Structure 1
Amino acid sequence: MKRLGISVSLILAILILAFSVLSVFGYSYYVGDNKVTVFKGFGSIDWGVDVNGGSKIAVKAASADEISAVADVVRDRAAKFGLTDHQICVDEAKGQLELTVPQSLDCDFSAEEVAGFLTSYGNLTIRPDGSYTNMTVDSSDSAAFVTPTGSTAETILITSDDVSGSSWFEYVEDKYSYYYLNIEFNEVGSDKMATYTNADTGTYYNKAVSIWLDDRMISNPTVSETIDGGTLSVSSDSMTQSKAELYSAVISAGKMPCNVSVVSVTDVAPLANNISDIIFIAGVVALAAIMVFMIFRYRLGAFAGIFAVLLQFSGVLAVITRFAGEGRTFLLTIPGAAALAFSVMLTVLSFALMGERMVSELKGGTVVGTAISTGIEKSRKIILDMSVVLAVVALMGMFMFGTSAFTTAIFGNYTLSGVYNFSYVLFFGAVINLISGYVVPQLMLRSLQSFSKKPSMFGGAK
């Protein structure tokens, strides 16, 4: 086995330690009053209903058949919004549906407003001008213009029946981000928009139009060119990424098959207070205990295991927080947190397989270099098989209980958030373990033998 210099361990240790600090604490700075988040940490995690509570809205339709169809639309909207933790209860006898969404959402709307959008009628209309009756302030302190009036109320140019879908995109200029909502028209809608906005004959060319979602105006642009490509891109001063995501989800899923009325809106309490703090403290204590045990058992060799565990924990945490990504984090529930703990134990087990074989060889009189090589070789297949099998099982769980197109085709728009949460975190934990549970410890063990060749320094007899 080729020996590596001690510098390999030092470089790996510094890189892993730096990554761990950033993944746990994150990094952000301020430009004026605006906070710019570069890396998201543990404190940025969006927690599920079981951890931070949520908001529950109850809506009512006229019949059992109608409320079942309403439930399908709500599930589709929640899936398109990426709401992996939500609860839908349907009472067909009462023609009533209850939707619960998490309180902890990195969103410019409150949980109550999100629930309201997901259960709203959701009819998109494009109207002339932009006259409104009232102005309110939403939970992001942005002006919300509601209820069209005058010619805006009297004339409807486009409805949801003319729309085939929606998406959003980010436009960056001079380091500032602007978010746009794409409205995609079907053939009928495309023809209407091309006629309305024709530069030569269009009634609304060079004039203001307004885009409404039910009775809320979401944009009030001026038509400056012919819209004949089947897509309209709009924005507003208050358009943010989360708002664009939510509008797009509601529009893409289509309007409700019937009108629904709101019965009640209530808060839902978490399972216990300060669960996220308890999870963090328990995780720190568990990691510390594991590290102490490793040092007593493997001595110098333990540092390979310690940094492997740190990499596994911070790597899976980075996946959950979407470390350097835009927008919301993965919505973590207690089952997801359990999968994070399981992923860390997977790396502990992987290193233990390697370390115990190494210690056994050392106690049998084998020299350090050979003992390390044997430990690496004898544990390789078990570690790889274990990681691959768990990744496949977790992937099956994600497919069966997730929100992918594959799942939708077989099971419909159904999400069992606890199983999906556990499977999602476990899948990435198993994949990352291929690096943190095998590649990193074997590199560091091969490097650490350059520091000492005494068997006692690696858990052997003195």
Structure 2
Amino acid sequence: MRDRTNGFLITTIILAAIGIYLALPMQHPKWLTDLLFWQPASTRDLQIKEGLDLRGGLQVLLEADVPAGQTVDREAIQTAKQIVENRVNGLGVSEPLIQVQGDRRIVVELPGISNPDQAIETLKGTGLLEFIETGDEVIPAGTKVSTSYGSLQDSGVVTSTNQITSTNQVTRTNQVTSTSGITSTTVVTPTTPATPGKVYRTIMTGADLKTAAVAFEQSTNAPIITFTLTDAGSKKFADYTSANIGKILSIVLDKTVLSSPRIQSAITGGNGQITGRFTLEEARSLSVQMRYGALPVPLRVAESRAVGPTLGQDSVRKSINAGVIGLLVVILFMLLYYRLPGVLADLALIIYALLVFALFKLIPVTLTLPGIAGFVLSVGMAVDANVLIFERMKEELRGGRNLRSAIDTGFARAWPSIRDSNASTLITCVILFWFGSNFGASIVKGFALTLAIGVLVSLFTAITVTRTFLHLVMNNMDLSRNHWWFGV
């Protein structure tokens, strides 16, 4: 029993140390971020995220860019909403709100965006990727061209099961400079603009794209865009590059040339990369648009405005003060009413708060006012579990059991009630999260997520941590004859 208690104690100490370190308001070193997210060159940070009501951000109203009398298909606007939502997720914006308004408008709220113009460019860009045949003609990057694929809205939607996660802002410039291109090509220097009025043949589009991601060159550590083609796209690419070695194959996004590399050898693996003088933000923006494809209807920005925090700093400060006071009152009550177990429960409650706050940073969870409410509610449920356990312990002590037996029996008999109450709460959280996901109510999702995290962590601290502390005290102090310490 002592070995088991010592094992749980060591685990608790390690988790508490991690919680304290992550909860500190500081910039954590890059190696720690890479370790926590299991990936090199991680761009995630471990700072707390604040929602639109606490931090402010950007609100954009997108409208279908079609003639006033033309009807917009409802399915098309819903598809456009989903693509916009995917792009927002690719930008790394936490707790966004994307909703359809009427039959041709989409409302987008982006917390914490500081550069509205760059974010808007990524949202409303059609994202049509094309590989066009230019023969021996080298077209400078940034040049607008006409292609045989037709209008921008004719392209298919690029599907992808993965997402590019990032908490940094994503930018895109109107003119992307690039001097190199896909794998197995040589770098060429543009010398002449595109032929005026010429329509270039499209060899392949983004519909043949499976994935796209940001990577880094090993030699220079410069950001590049890597992509993988579908089976059909790989065959098209292999057939064309095999028959056109030495020719130029320009890469075009939204009818704007990204780069014009020369095909040096056949490319049969279905993988490629776009390299050039990209910033990290530009590379992310382009990869997001490539992965999430072309919009079924063109969108224009009908309205864009910066949104200040719904709650002022004074309201936030008062809310924090109220939460701290409430927590202190709970700690004081547990100390006075349950005495020694109350002290240990208070320590477990502090560990609980540290672990939950650390998870909020790791996931990450965007804190909004409803999210804070979910966390506060979970604190009450964590205390409720300890109350059930301690009351059962007191009953066993009054019934004549010895201290060790009373503790173990108290935990065993309180567990079914704790399990059932927390299970019902988690089921409710799942329902609320589903509702928020399907009806665009992101504040409901935030409440459900923070409450579920709090409930799961409270189960660990109330059952494991508190019990470990009680056995640790029993193993080192003789309290068998003094039940006063246990409120009896």
* TM-score with structure 2 setting the length: 0.72
State the match for 1:197 in structure 2: 241
Query: SS where residue 106 of structure 2 aligns?
Result: strand
CA distance 1:344–1:21, shift in 2 (3 Å): same
Q: 1:267 to 1:376 in 2, by over 3 A?
A: same
Which amino acid in 2 is paired with 1:193?
Answer: F
Alignment of 1:17-416 (within 5 A): 17-25=16-24, 28=27, 44-61=47-64, 62=66, 63-66=70-73, 69-79=76-86, 81-82=88-89, 84-92=95-103, 95-103=104-112, 110-126=115-131, 129-132=139-142, 144=173, 146=175, 150-151=193-194, 155=200, 157=202, 160=205, 162-168=207-213, 170=215, 180-185=225-230, 187=232, 189-198=233-242, 201-204=244-247, 209-213=250-254, 215=256, 217=258, 226-236=266-276, 238=278, 240=280, 247-274=286-313, 280-322=320-362, 329-362=364-397, 366-402=401-437, 414-416=439-441
Shift of 1:417: 0.9
Residues 85 and 286 (structure 1), Cα distance of their counterparts in 2 relative to 1, 3 Å cut: farther
Mapped to 1, the partners of 2:386 and 2:8 lie a distance apart of 16
Larger gyration radius, structure 1 or structure 2: 2
Q: CA deviation digits over 1:5-49, x for unaligned, max 9?
A: 986686466334312212312664568xx9978779997122222
For the 8 Å contact 1:165–1:253, the answer to whether it is kept is: no
Q: Shift of the alpha carbon at 1:263?
A: 2.3
Per-residue CA distance 1:142-199 (angstroms, 9 max, x = gap): 8835189923995464564643443426569699795644253572x4444324433x
1:112-135 alpha-carbon deviations (Å, 9 max, x no partner): 53344223322223456443269x
**Mapped partners of 2:82, 2:47: distance in 1:** 26
Deviations 1:61-112 (A, max 9, x none): 22442576234323333146435421324233xx4433222225xxxx8355
2:487 alignment counterpart: 460
1:250 is displaced (CA, Å) by 3.5
Q: How many residues align?
A: 427
Name the CA distance, whole Å, in 2 between partners of 1:46 and 1:152: 49
Distance 1:5 1:343, change over 3 A: same
Asked whether the equivalents of residues 164 and 186 of structure 1 are also in contact (C-alpha less than 8 Å), the reply is: no
Structure 1 residue 379, shift from structure 2 partner:
0.8
Moved more, 247-256 or 342-351: 247-256
Residues 249 and 337 (structure 1 numbering): CA distance in 2 closer, same or farther, change over 3 Å?
Answer: farther
Q: Which stretch shows the higher mean deviation, 281-290 or 140-149? A: 140-149
**Percentage identity across aligned positions?**
19
Structure 2 portions without partners, runs of 5+:
38-43, 133-137, 145-167, 178-191
Q: 1:424 aligns with which of 445, 449, 453?
A: 449
- Normalised TM-score (structure 1): 0.75
1:449 Cα deviation (Å)? Answer: 1.8
The residue identity in structure 1 corresponding to 2:241 is T
The separation in 1 between residues aligned to 2:257 and 2:251, in whole angstroms, is 10
Aligned CA-pair RMSD = 4.2
**1:448 CA drift (Å):** 1.7
Gaps of 5+ in 1: 324-328, 403-410
Displacement of 1:265 after TM fit? Answer: 1.6
State how far apart, in whole Å, the 2-side matches of 1:99 and 1:377 are: 50
Residue 150 of structure 1: SS of its match in structure 2?
coil
